[in-house]
Amino acid sequence: MSIRKWLQIGNDQVFSLGAYLVSEVTPMIDFDKSSGDNRVQATDRDTGVPMWQVEVLDGDPAAPKRSRTVTVKFAAQTQPTAPANTSGTPFTPVVFEGLMALPYIERSGDFSRIAWSFRASGMTAPAKTSTAANTAKASA
C-alpha cells in the first residue's frame, strides 16, 4: 500500500469556517529528554529540525467540544511567525500552508476515538475577498 503516514490536506477541509490562533507559537518540549528545570525542545524524527506548536480554535460552531481547539505543529529551524492580527478580536485568523494530518486512536479508559495530529509548513493571514467576488458568489 502506498498511503503515506501523513496525509496532505487542504486548510479549508479542516477549518471550513476558519482557524484562529489562541496562543503564541512555542517550542515543543521533548518530555523524554527533559528533566526538572532542563527543558529540551523536541526535534523532528526524520530531519532533526526543531519542532514548534500553536493552539488553534476551529471556527465551526458545530465542531465537537474535544475538537474545537487543536494544536498545529511545525518543523522549522527558526520559530514560525504568526500573521498580524487585524481582526479586531483577541484571536488571529490564520490559514495553514502545507497542512498535513495524521489519524491516531486516542484511548480514554474504556473508550476510544479517532483523533488527528496536524502539521503545517507555514501560516499566513487569510486572503481578503472583494465585495464584488462575494456578491458574485451569493448570486450564483
44, part of any domain: yes
Read off the pTM.
0.84
Residue 129 confidence (pLDDT): 60
Residue 136 confidence (pLDDT): 47
Show the domain range for 72: 7-128
Distances (CA, A) of 126 to 39, 53, 94, 105, 130: 34, 19, 6, 31, 12
Residues of the chain with pLDDT under 70: 1-3, 129-140
* CA–CA gap between residue 68 and residue 120 (Å, rounded): 18
136, part of any domain: no
* CA–CA gap between residue 26 and residue 39 (Å, rounded): 13
The stretches of the chain forming alpha helices (DSSP H) are 11-14, 131-139
User: Would you list the DSSP string of 104-127?
Assistant: EEEEETTEEEEEEEEE-SEEEPPP
Residue 8 confidence (pLDDT): 95
Domains identified in the chain, total number: 1
Which cell goes with 86?
A: 487585524
Residue 66 confidence (pLDDT): 83
